[in-house]
Amino acid sequence: MKKPYFGRLLTAMVTPFNADGSINYEAGADFADWLLANGSDGLVVEGSTGEAATMDMDEKIKFMQNIVARVNGRAKIVAGAGTNCTASTIDLVKKMEACGVDGVLVVGPYYNKPTQEGYYQHFAAVAKATKLPIIVYNVPGRTGGNIAPETVARLAADFSNIVAIKEAAGNVAQTAELYRVLPENFSIYSGDDGLILPFLSVGACGLISVLANVNGNILQQLMQAYSEGRVKDAADLNKVMVPLAKAMFIESNPIPIKAAVTKVTGIEAGAPRLPLTPISAAAEAKLDAALKAAGMIK
């Protein structure tokens, strides 16, 4: 495995909320500390798992400044900075740059459903507007469109600060094609915990993870085993990890993972903001069963 640009395991961290729905900034900083002590090489802050879609700009800036100050250079911080408007994305990227982040995660514009040329022009405009390294985020299940490997390759060739992709199309063949067409120094991150092992086998070099909010160590162990050629050990770890990863998606992300963070870490993550709702009793029972089976709660 080659060395990933931002580290092997980036956690798409949740944003803790108080009981009244306001952001708990102190808990957020404490949680960043916990993540770095429990397997995370770096943090993706204010992505979809962090509920950026329901945070206003003042909250985004204050929360990011808070995390950057607490981490204080100990790990890379990547800001979720994508919107479905190119001008708004550029504005957000510049604000995140001013907060002192190390890079930005920019999702393919959602709802608009651009052509491949539209995707190219969107990311090109963002790349021209910042010096920060950019991770392209391809997640067709949330955006309604797929960024083709040839478009990513074109962006990588034309812009030196487009350095990685978070590939969450759930398609091993597409990941293999990305590896074929992209430069050797371009980092392919899996965007799906449950697919990290097959993605590694076709060229991915790291993971941007939801599960790492509560168990980064198993993911690190799995990737380490694979990188050392201990494929059976990696497969055995995968057998334990996949049910956990699935449990984090029994309802829409981040509903289950926020509940899991509170149960596992002791840091109160709070309920998600509307339109997401707190975890249902039936889903919570399944989540608890998965966490107990893995020995993460009693």
Supply the residues annotated as catalytic: 137, 166
The dihedral sign for the CA sequence 205, 168, 44, 214? negative
Half-sphere exposure at residue 22, Cβ-oriented, CA atoms within 13 angstroms: 6
The dihedral sign for the CA sequence 97, 99, 102, 105? negative
Which candidate, 108, 162, 158, places its Cα nearest to that of 135?
162
What one-character-per-residue DSSP string does 221-283 give?
A: HHHHHHHTT-HHHHHHHHHHHHHHHHHTTSSSTTHHHHHHHHHHHS----PPPTTS-PPPHHH
10 bridge partner residues: 42, 208
Q: What DSSP character marks residue 97?
A: H
Q: Which two tokens stand for residue 287?
A: 């989540």
| Cα(207)–Cα(164) distance, integer angstroms | 11
Q: Which two tokens stand for residue 269?
A: 């993550």
What is the length of the chain? 298
- Residue type at 105? L
Q: Where are the alpha helices (DSSP H) in the chain?
A: 25-37, 57-71, 86-99, 116-129, 140-143, 149-158, 172-181, 196-201, 212-227, 231-247, 255-265, 281-293
